[in-house]
A and B are shown apart, each in its own frame.
Chain A
Amino acid sequence: MPVKFEAAGEKHETEDLVQGLGRVLEKAYPLIWKQLDGLIIRSELVREAAERLVPEPFDWKEDTEKAARAIAGISSPKITRMLEPRNDEEKEMMKALLTRIVLERIGMIK
């Protein structure tokens, strides 16, 4: 058993370590934020910010300039104001979720 993973009622098992760990990341990442959704961070604001930074999904490898602008925008004062964080920790939490959504929209993570 190189990798056995179970979450949200789904079970995955594979002898291929790389494939198995890849699947763990694919499944576990969204679940983290699903667990926190609406509970401690205002994720709707984060999604709006991500859509402003990346209006249409694209592949970062095809346009690194556009990808770089979107990434740099994550920590811009304009986006921070839009997120309205109530403290530094919330700012970091929201920034992490925003980064994840932006990277998904530019095809860097699944």
Chain B
Amino acid sequence: MRVALEAEEGKWVCIKKGEFADSPEERIDCARLLASIVESARRKLRQEKGIDPETIARICGAKYNRRQKKYVLKGRKKPEQVKEWLERVKGLDEPDESAVLLLEMLGYDTVPSQKTFEEYLKKMSLGTEGYCPREN
């Protein structure tokens, strides 16, 4: 499968390309490239739509984590709290995208982090968990 993104706006340029065969290891590489495309597209889209992470962070009390380079709210979240925060983002200009960003701050990512991805693949390729993608 061929995957290619070319996007440009002012000084912002994003070019990501790859061609992959239908083998387990190439499907994983393809997923990795797609995840990177999603991350770049999402970041730029939020910027273009004027979604301010600080505004969302103030709603739920998330703090900026320098190591992770994002706002994070640790600990277990009660449904009542989540409901209250959803009610507040519902009133913003871009409710769906703002709600997705809120949930990312709460630890609900829709794409695994690059670190998790790599650690998982490493663990699985060692064959210690009963599956070895590189041998299939």
Contact = CB atoms under 8 A, between A and B. Distances in A.
A86 B131 CA distance: 11
Contacts, number: 162
Nearest to B37: A28
Contacts of A3: 5-7
Chain B interface, >50% SS class: helix
Given A87-B129, A90-B120, A108-B99, A32 B41 contact: no
Counting contact residues on chain B (CB < 8 A from A), the size range is: 35 or more
Given A64-B90, A87-B129, A21 B48 contact: yes
Given A28-B38, A35-B28, 6 more contacts: A6-B5, A22-B45, A36-B28, A68-B79, A68-B83, A93-B116
Interface of A: 1-9, 17-18, 20-22, 24-25, 28-29, 31-33, 35-36, 39-40, 60-61, 64-65, 67-69, 71-72, 74-75, 86-87, 89-90, 92-93, 95-96, 99-100, 103, 107-109
